[in-house]
Amino acid sequence: MSMDVSILEKLLAAGQDNLMLRFGLGNACLQQGEYGRAVEHLRAALRHDPAHSASHKLLGKALAAAGRNDEAVAAYEAGIRSAGEKGDIQAAKEMKVFLKRLQKPAAS
């Protein structure tokens, strides 16, 4: 079940700009294939909390889905560092897997 983007956008327009709202919007946009909007909201989420592992992970996914692999690699690397610093081992492992997939050469 995906979140209703229009409801979340109304909250944002009403001035309720915070980490979880931006994360929710980023996640909903990603699920709907709106990768550019997902990136915008997830970057805003990270401005609220630069150490939010889940936002780093979804930002990497959104960038990769948009074909912006270099930016996705940078997002995952930042997320892995951040997750490691705060002891979020599972998030770091997941992002390492996604990072390795991006760095594999394309099969010919």
Domain ranges of the chain: 5-103
pLDDT beneath 70, residues of the chain: 1-3, 105-108
Say what angle helices 69-85 and 53-65 make with each other, to 10 degrees: 170
pLDDT the model gives residue 6: 83
pLDDT of residue 108: 46
**pLDDT at site 9:** 86
Please tell me the predicted confidence (pLDDT) of residue 20: 95
CA 36 to chain CA centroid, Å, is 11
- Domain at 5-103, CATH homologous superfamily: Tetratricopeptide repeat domain (1.25.40.10)
Predicted pLDDT of residue 13: 86
Q: Say if CB 53 and CB 88 are below 8 A apart.
A: yes
Residue 4 CA to its chain's centroid (Å) = 18
Q: Which residues of 76-102 are buried (b: 16+ CB within 10 A; e: fewer)?
A: bebbbebbeeeebeebbebbbebbeee
